[in-house]
Amino acid sequence: MSDIVTFGETMLRLSPPDSERLEDADEFEVRAAGAESNVAIAANRLGADAVWTSKVPETPLGRRVVGELRSHGIETDVVWSHRGRQGTYYLEQGGTPRGNNVIYDRENTAVSTAAAREFDLDPIRNARVFFTTGITPALSSTLRDTTANLLKAAQQGGTTTAFDFNYRNKLWSPSEAKETLTRLFPGIDVLVIAARDARTVLGFEDDPRQLAHRLGSQYDFTTVIVTRGSEGAVGWHDNVVHDQPAYETDTVDPIGTGDAFTGAFIARRLDGDDVPTALEYAAATAALKRTIPGDVALVTADEVETVVSEQAEDISR
Ligand SMILES: O=C(O)C(=O)C[C@H](O)[C@H](O)COP(=O)(O)O
Protein backbone atom coordinates (compact mmCIF):
# COMPACT_ATOMS: atom_id res chain seq x y z
CA MET A 1 0.00 0.00 0.00
CA SER A 2 1.41 3.39 -0.92
CA ASP A 3 0.95 6.64 0.89
CA ILE A 4 -0.07 8.59 -2.19
CA VAL A 5 -1.04 7.73 -5.76
CA THR A 6 -1.33 10.62 -8.24
CA PHE A 7 -2.84 10.57 -11.72
CA GLY A 8 -2.29 13.03 -14.59
CA GLU A 9 -0.23 14.11 -17.56
CA THR A 10 3.47 14.82 -17.26
CA MET A 11 4.92 16.81 -20.14
CA LEU A 12 8.41 17.54 -21.29
CA ARG A 13 9.11 21.16 -20.46
CA LEU A 14 11.38 22.94 -22.94
CA SER A 15 12.80 26.23 -21.74
CA PRO A 16 15.57 28.43 -23.13
CA PRO A 17 18.43 29.04 -20.69
CA ASP A 18 18.37 32.29 -18.75
CA SER A 19 15.68 34.59 -20.04
CA GLU A 20 16.23 34.02 -23.75
CA ARG A 21 13.28 34.41 -26.09
CA LEU A 22 11.64 31.29 -27.46
CA GLU A 23 11.72 32.69 -30.99
CA ASP A 24 15.46 33.15 -30.84
CA ALA A 25 16.85 30.47 -28.50
CA ASP A 26 19.08 27.81 -29.99
CA GLU A 27 19.10 25.63 -26.88
CA PHE A 28 16.38 24.34 -24.59
CA GLU A 29 16.61 22.75 -21.17
CA VAL A 30 14.41 19.66 -21.07
CA ARG A 31 12.71 18.49 -17.89
CA ALA A 32 9.73 16.33 -16.98
CA ALA A 33 6.95 18.55 -15.67
CA GLY A 34 3.38 17.97 -14.64
CA ALA A 35 1.31 18.98 -11.66
CA GLU A 36 0.56 15.44 -10.48
CA SER A 37 4.11 14.13 -10.76
CA ASN A 38 5.42 17.34 -9.17
CA VAL A 39 3.14 16.68 -6.20
CA ALA A 40 4.23 13.04 -5.99
CA ILE A 41 7.91 14.07 -5.93
CA ALA A 42 7.42 16.78 -3.31
CA ALA A 43 5.48 14.36 -1.11
CA ASN A 44 8.21 11.74 -1.55
CA ARG A 45 10.92 14.23 -0.63
CA LEU A 46 9.10 14.76 2.65
CA GLY A 47 8.94 11.06 3.37
CA ALA A 48 5.82 9.67 1.65
CA ASP A 49 5.86 6.62 -0.63
CA ALA A 50 4.55 8.08 -3.87
CA VAL A 51 3.32 6.55 -7.12
CA TRP A 52 2.53 8.49 -10.32
CA THR A 53 0.01 6.87 -12.68
CA SER A 54 -0.60 7.81 -16.30
CA LYS A 55 -0.79 6.66 -19.91
CA VAL A 56 2.42 7.34 -21.77
CA PRO A 57 3.47 6.82 -25.40
CA GLU A 58 5.90 3.97 -25.97
CA THR A 59 8.40 6.33 -27.60
CA PRO A 60 11.79 7.79 -26.65
CA LEU A 61 9.99 10.91 -25.35
CA GLY A 62 7.59 8.87 -23.21
CA ARG A 63 10.46 6.79 -21.84
CA ARG A 64 12.37 9.98 -21.12
CA VAL A 65 9.52 11.26 -18.92
CA VAL A 66 9.14 8.00 -17.01
CA GLY A 67 12.90 7.57 -16.58
CA GLU A 68 13.31 11.09 -15.25
CA LEU A 69 10.45 10.72 -12.75
CA ARG A 70 11.88 7.41 -11.52
CA SER A 71 15.28 9.05 -11.12
CA HIS A 72 13.64 11.36 -8.58
CA GLY A 73 12.67 8.39 -6.43
CA ILE A 74 8.96 7.96 -7.09
CA GLU A 75 7.33 4.84 -8.47
CA THR A 76 5.63 4.99 -11.85
CA ASP A 77 2.66 2.82 -12.77
CA VAL A 78 1.96 3.54 -16.43
CA VAL A 79 -0.07 2.14 -19.27
CA TRP A 80 2.26 2.24 -22.31
CA SER A 81 0.50 3.26 -25.50
CA HIS A 82 1.38 2.69 -29.15
CA ARG A 83 -0.83 5.59 -30.17
CA GLY A 84 -0.90 9.24 -29.17
CA ARG A 85 1.76 11.84 -28.54
CA GLN A 86 3.91 12.93 -25.61
CA GLY A 87 2.73 16.37 -24.44
CA THR A 88 5.23 19.19 -24.20
CA TYR A 89 5.28 22.76 -23.04
CA TYR A 90 7.54 25.64 -23.87
CA LEU A 91 8.40 28.09 -21.13
CA GLU A 92 9.89 31.53 -21.57
CA GLN A 93 10.87 33.04 -18.22
CA GLY A 94 10.89 36.78 -18.82
CA GLY A 95 10.81 38.26 -15.33
CA THR A 96 9.13 41.63 -14.73
CA PRO A 97 7.49 43.11 -16.82
CA ARG A 98 7.74 40.47 -19.59
CA GLY A 99 6.34 37.69 -17.41
CA ASN A 100 6.56 33.93 -17.80
CA ASN A 101 4.89 32.58 -20.91
CA VAL A 102 3.76 28.97 -21.28
CA ILE A 103 2.89 27.50 -24.68
CA TYR A 104 1.28 24.07 -24.47
CA ASP A 105 1.57 21.40 -27.15
CA ARG A 106 -0.66 18.72 -25.69
CA GLU A 107 -3.15 17.81 -28.45
CA ASN A 108 -3.71 14.15 -29.36
CA THR A 109 -1.62 12.86 -26.53
CA ALA A 110 -1.63 9.28 -25.29
CA VAL A 111 -2.93 10.37 -21.90
CA SER A 112 -5.95 12.12 -23.43
CA THR A 113 -7.32 8.66 -24.32
CA ALA A 114 -6.76 7.11 -20.88
CA ALA A 115 -9.89 5.34 -19.64
CA ALA A 116 -10.32 4.07 -16.07
CA ARG A 117 -10.79 0.47 -17.31
CA GLU A 118 -7.18 0.47 -18.61
CA PHE A 119 -5.79 0.77 -15.07
CA ASP A 120 -5.55 -1.62 -12.16
CA LEU A 121 -7.57 0.37 -9.63
CA ASP A 122 -6.38 -1.57 -6.59
CA PRO A 123 -3.34 0.65 -5.97
CA ILE A 124 -5.73 3.64 -5.85
CA ARG A 125 -8.25 1.83 -3.66
CA ASN A 126 -5.46 0.75 -1.31
CA ALA A 127 -3.54 4.03 -1.13
CA ARG A 128 -3.88 6.39 1.80
CA VAL A 129 -4.37 9.39 -0.53
CA PHE A 130 -5.34 9.69 -4.19
CA PHE A 131 -4.45 13.00 -5.83
CA THR A 132 -5.22 14.62 -9.15
CA THR A 133 -5.90 18.15 -10.41
CA GLY A 134 -8.29 20.24 -12.47
CA ILE A 135 -5.78 20.08 -15.33
CA THR A 136 -6.54 16.41 -16.01
CA PRO A 137 -10.26 16.74 -16.85
CA ALA A 138 -9.43 19.82 -18.97
CA LEU A 139 -7.44 17.66 -21.39
CA SER A 140 -10.24 15.60 -23.03
CA SER A 141 -13.79 14.39 -22.53
CA THR A 142 -12.40 10.89 -21.91
CA LEU A 143 -10.28 12.28 -19.10
CA ARG A 144 -13.31 14.05 -17.66
CA ASP A 145 -14.94 10.63 -17.15
CA THR A 146 -11.68 9.01 -16.05
CA THR A 147 -11.07 11.64 -13.38
CA ALA A 148 -14.57 11.11 -11.99
CA ASN A 149 -14.20 7.32 -12.10
CA LEU A 150 -10.81 7.27 -10.38
CA LEU A 151 -12.06 9.60 -7.63
CA LYS A 152 -15.04 7.27 -7.20
CA ALA A 153 -12.80 4.19 -6.99
CA ALA A 154 -10.66 5.92 -4.38
CA GLN A 155 -13.67 6.90 -2.33
CA GLN A 156 -15.12 3.40 -2.49
CA GLY A 157 -11.81 2.02 -1.24
CA GLY A 158 -11.79 4.43 1.70
CA THR A 159 -8.84 6.38 0.22
CA THR A 160 -8.70 10.08 1.08
CA THR A 161 -9.05 12.12 -2.11
CA ALA A 162 -7.07 15.33 -2.59
CA PHE A 163 -7.53 17.67 -5.54
CA ASP A 164 -5.84 20.85 -6.72
CA PHE A 165 -8.34 22.99 -8.66
CA ASN A 166 -5.47 24.28 -10.90
CA TYR A 167 -7.47 26.29 -13.45
CA ARG A 168 -5.53 26.71 -16.72
CA ASN A 169 -7.07 29.32 -18.99
CA LYS A 170 -5.11 28.06 -22.00
CA LEU A 171 -6.97 24.74 -21.75
CA TRP A 172 -10.61 25.73 -21.19
CA SER A 173 -12.99 28.53 -20.30
CA PRO A 174 -14.05 29.47 -16.76
CA SER A 175 -17.62 28.27 -17.40
CA GLU A 176 -16.49 24.86 -18.75
CA ALA A 177 -14.15 24.46 -15.79
CA LYS A 178 -16.83 25.46 -13.31
CA GLU A 179 -19.34 22.98 -14.67
CA THR A 180 -16.90 20.06 -14.75
CA LEU A 181 -14.98 20.71 -11.55
CA THR A 182 -17.93 21.48 -9.28
CA ARG A 183 -19.44 18.18 -10.41
CA LEU A 184 -16.31 16.45 -9.06
CA PHE A 185 -16.52 18.22 -5.68
CA PRO A 186 -18.64 15.54 -3.92
CA GLY A 187 -15.83 13.03 -4.58
CA ILE A 188 -13.15 15.22 -2.99
CA ASP A 189 -12.05 15.34 0.66
CA VAL A 190 -9.18 17.84 0.51
CA LEU A 191 -9.46 20.76 -1.91
CA VAL A 192 -6.58 23.08 -2.76
CA ILE A 193 -7.59 26.17 -4.72
CA ALA A 194 -5.87 29.44 -5.59
CA ALA A 195 -7.90 32.47 -4.45
CA ARG A 196 -7.47 33.78 -8.01
CA ASP A 197 -9.13 30.64 -9.48
CA ALA A 198 -12.02 30.81 -7.01
CA ARG A 199 -12.66 34.33 -8.24
CA THR A 200 -12.21 33.66 -11.98
CA VAL A 201 -13.98 30.31 -12.21
CA LEU A 202 -16.40 30.14 -9.28
CA GLY A 203 -17.09 33.88 -9.05
CA PHE A 204 -16.34 33.98 -5.30
CA GLU A 205 -15.24 37.45 -4.28
CA ASP A 206 -14.91 36.64 -0.54
CA ASP A 207 -11.67 37.27 1.31
CA PRO A 208 -9.59 34.06 1.51
CA ARG A 209 -10.63 33.19 5.09
CA GLN A 210 -14.32 33.51 4.26
CA LEU A 211 -13.75 31.71 0.99
CA ALA A 212 -12.15 28.69 2.68
CA HIS A 213 -14.98 28.57 5.19
CA ARG A 214 -17.69 28.98 2.54
CA LEU A 215 -16.24 26.29 0.26
CA GLY A 216 -15.73 23.91 3.16
CA SER A 217 -19.25 24.17 4.49
CA GLN A 218 -21.04 24.49 1.12
CA TYR A 219 -19.45 21.44 -0.49
CA ASP A 220 -18.71 19.19 2.46
CA PHE A 221 -14.90 19.00 2.08
CA THR A 222 -12.95 17.88 5.13
CA THR A 223 -10.13 20.36 4.41
CA VAL A 224 -9.89 23.40 2.12
CA ILE A 225 -6.62 25.18 1.40
CA VAL A 226 -6.81 28.56 -0.33
CA THR A 227 -3.44 29.63 -1.74
CA ARG A 228 -2.61 33.30 -2.17
CA GLY A 229 0.81 33.44 -3.86
CA SER A 230 3.22 35.72 -2.04
CA GLU A 231 0.60 36.30 0.66
CA GLY A 232 0.68 32.69 1.79
CA ALA A 233 -2.32 30.43 2.30
CA VAL A 234 -5.25 29.76 4.57
CA GLY A 235 -6.43 26.33 5.62
CA TRP A 236 -9.94 25.41 6.79
CA HIS A 237 -10.40 22.21 8.79
CA ASP A 238 -12.86 21.17 11.53
CA ASN A 239 -14.56 24.53 11.08
CA VAL A 240 -11.41 26.47 12.03
CA VAL A 241 -9.44 28.71 9.64
CA HIS A 242 -5.63 28.85 9.94
CA ASP A 243 -3.44 31.53 8.34
CA GLN A 244 -0.04 30.66 6.90
CA PRO A 245 2.23 33.44 5.61
CA ALA A 246 4.68 32.77 2.77
CA TYR A 247 8.39 32.47 3.61
CA GLU A 248 10.79 34.90 2.02
CA THR A 249 12.52 33.51 -1.07
CA ASP A 250 14.78 34.50 -3.96
CA THR A 251 12.86 33.32 -6.98
CA VAL A 252 14.90 31.45 -9.58
CA ASP A 253 11.94 29.51 -11.05
CA PRO A 254 8.38 29.97 -9.79
CA ILE A 255 6.80 27.12 -11.77
CA GLY A 256 5.82 24.25 -9.52
CA THR A 257 5.51 26.33 -6.34
CA GLY A 258 1.89 25.33 -5.81
CA ASP A 259 2.68 21.67 -6.44
CA ALA A 260 5.55 21.74 -3.94
CA PHE A 261 3.20 23.27 -1.38
CA THR A 262 0.51 20.66 -1.96
CA GLY A 263 2.86 17.66 -2.01
CA ALA A 264 4.46 18.74 1.25
CA PHE A 265 1.09 19.45 2.88
CA ILE A 266 -0.18 15.97 2.01
CA ALA A 267 3.04 14.26 3.18
CA ARG A 268 3.00 16.04 6.52
CA ARG A 269 -0.70 15.31 7.10
CA LEU A 270 0.03 11.64 6.36
CA ASP A 271 2.80 11.81 8.90
CA GLY A 272 0.33 12.96 11.54
CA ASP A 273 0.78 16.74 11.58
CA ASP A 274 -2.20 18.92 12.39
CA VAL A 275 -3.29 21.36 9.67
CA PRO A 276 -1.38 24.46 10.91
CA THR A 277 1.88 22.49 11.21
CA ALA A 278 1.44 20.87 7.80
CA LEU A 279 0.78 24.35 6.34
CA GLU A 280 4.11 25.60 7.75
CA TYR A 281 6.04 22.77 6.11
CA ALA A 282 4.10 23.28 2.88
CA ALA A 283 4.96 26.99 2.79
CA ALA A 284 8.64 26.25 3.53
CA THR A 285 8.79 23.64 0.74
CA ALA A 286 7.15 26.08 -1.67
CA ALA A 287 9.71 28.78 -0.77
CA LEU A 288 12.60 26.35 -1.35
CA LYS A 289 11.14 25.22 -4.68
CA ARG A 290 11.32 28.78 -6.00
CA THR A 291 15.11 28.68 -5.62
CA ILE A 292 15.41 25.56 -7.81
CA PRO A 293 15.26 25.50 -11.63
CA GLY A 294 12.71 23.13 -13.15
CA ASP A 295 9.19 22.19 -12.05
CA VAL A 296 10.24 19.79 -9.34
CA ALA A 297 10.90 20.50 -5.67
CA LEU A 298 14.22 18.66 -5.25
CA VAL A 299 14.42 19.60 -1.58
CA THR A 300 15.41 17.54 1.41
CA ALA A 301 13.32 17.13 4.53
CA ASP A 302 16.21 18.65 6.53
CA GLU A 303 16.25 21.79 4.40
CA VAL A 304 12.53 22.20 4.89
CA GLU A 305 12.97 21.69 8.64
CA THR A 306 15.65 24.39 8.67
CA VAL A 307 13.41 26.89 6.90
CA VAL A 308 10.56 26.15 9.29
CA SER A 309 12.79 26.66 12.30
CA GLU A 310 14.11 29.86 10.66
CA GLN A 311 17.71 28.81 10.97
CA ALA A 312 18.47 29.18 7.27
CA GLU A 313 21.69 31.08 6.74
CA ASP A 314 23.21 32.23 3.49
CA ILE A 315 26.08 29.76 3.67
CA SER A 316 26.04 26.42 5.43
CA ARG A 317 29.56 25.29 6.48
O1 LIG B 1 0.23 23.62 -16.48
C2 LIG B 1 0.27 22.39 -16.44
O3 LIG B 1 -0.53 21.70 -17.05
C4 LIG B 1 1.29 21.70 -15.68
O5 LIG B 1 1.09 20.65 -15.14
C6 LIG B 1 2.55 22.41 -15.68
C7 LIG B 1 3.12 22.88 -14.42
O8 LIG B 1 4.18 22.03 -14.25
C9 LIG B 1 2.39 22.86 -13.15
O10 LIG B 1 1.08 23.10 -13.36
C11 LIG B 1 2.99 23.86 -12.17
O12 LIG B 1 2.02 24.43 -11.37
P13 LIG B 1 2.27 25.44 -10.14
O14 LIG B 1 2.74 24.61 -9.01
O15 LIG B 1 0.93 26.03 -9.89
O16 LIG B 1 3.29 26.43 -10.62
User: Do 230 and 256 meet the contact criterion of CB atoms below 8 Å apart?
Assistant: no
Residues in contact with 49: Cβ distance below 8 Å, sequence separation at least 6, in sequence order: 2, 3, 4, 75
Ligand 1 center–CA 44 separation, angstroms: 18
What number of other Cβ atoms are within 10 A of residue 120's Cβ? Answer: 10
Q: Residue 153: what residue type? A: A
Bond before 97 cis per omega within 30 degrees: yes
Nearest Cα to Cα of residue 86 among 67, 68, 60: 60
Distance CA(167)–CA(35), nearest Å, equals 12
- Residue 236 and residue 261: Cα distance in Å, rounded? 16
> Percent of the chain beyond pLDDT 70?
98
Rounded to the nearest angstrom, the distance between the alpha carbon of 166 and the centre of ligand 1 is 8
Residue whose CA is closest, atom 15 of ligand 1? 258
How confident is the model at residue 314, as a pLDDT? 66
29-42: average pLDDT = 98
Q: What is the CA(35)–ligand 1 centre distance, in A?
A: 5
pLDDT(12) > 90: yes
Query: What residues are annotated to the active site?
Result: 259
- As a whole number of angstroms, the distance between CA 97 and CA 224 comes to 32
Best residue among 54, 89, 253 to mutate for probing ligand 1, ranked by most atoms within 8 Å of CB: 89
- Our mutation pick for probing the ligand 1 site, out of 13, 135, 192, counting the most ligand atoms within 8 A of Cβ, is 135
Q: Give the pLDDT mean for 204-227.
A: 95
The number of domains in the chain is 1
CB 2 within 8 A of CB 129: no
Nearest protein Cα to ligand 1, atom 4 = 34
CATH no. for residue 117? 3.40.1190.20
CB-ligand 1 contact for 256 (6 Å cutoff) = yes
DSSP-based three-state secondary structure for 162 = strand
Is the pLDDT assigned to residue 317 strictly greater than 80?
no
Q: Give the tens place of pLDDT for each residue, 73-130.
A: 999 999 999 999 999 999 999 988 999 999 999 999 999 999 999 999 999 999 999 9
Relative to the CA of 34, which ligand 1 atom is closest?
5
Task: Provide the whole-model pTM.
Answer: 0.97
Confidence at residue 47, expressed as pLDDT on a 0 to 100 scale: 98
Secondary structure, 3-state, 80-145: EECCCECCEEEEEECCCCCCEEEEEECCCECHHHCCHHHCCCHHHHHCCEEEEECCHHHCCHHHHH
Nearest to 297 by CA among 289, 305, 287: 289
**pLDDT tens-digit series, residues 181-191:** 999 999 999 99
d(Cα 275, Cα 234) in Å, to the nearest integer? Answer: 10
Helix H or strand E encompassing 53? strand 50-57
CA of 86 to the centre of ligand 1 (A): 16
Q: What is the pLDDT of residue 313?
A: 63
* d(C-alpha 162, C-alpha 5), whole Å: 10
| pLDDT score of 316 | 65
| Mean pLDDT for the stretch of residues 16-41 | 97
CA 7 – ligand 1 centroid, Å: 14
pLDDT for 312 equals: 58
The pLDDT confidence band at residue 1, using thresholds 50, 70 and 90, is confident
Ligand 1 atom nearest 38 alpha carbon? 8
**Domain housing 35:** 4-316
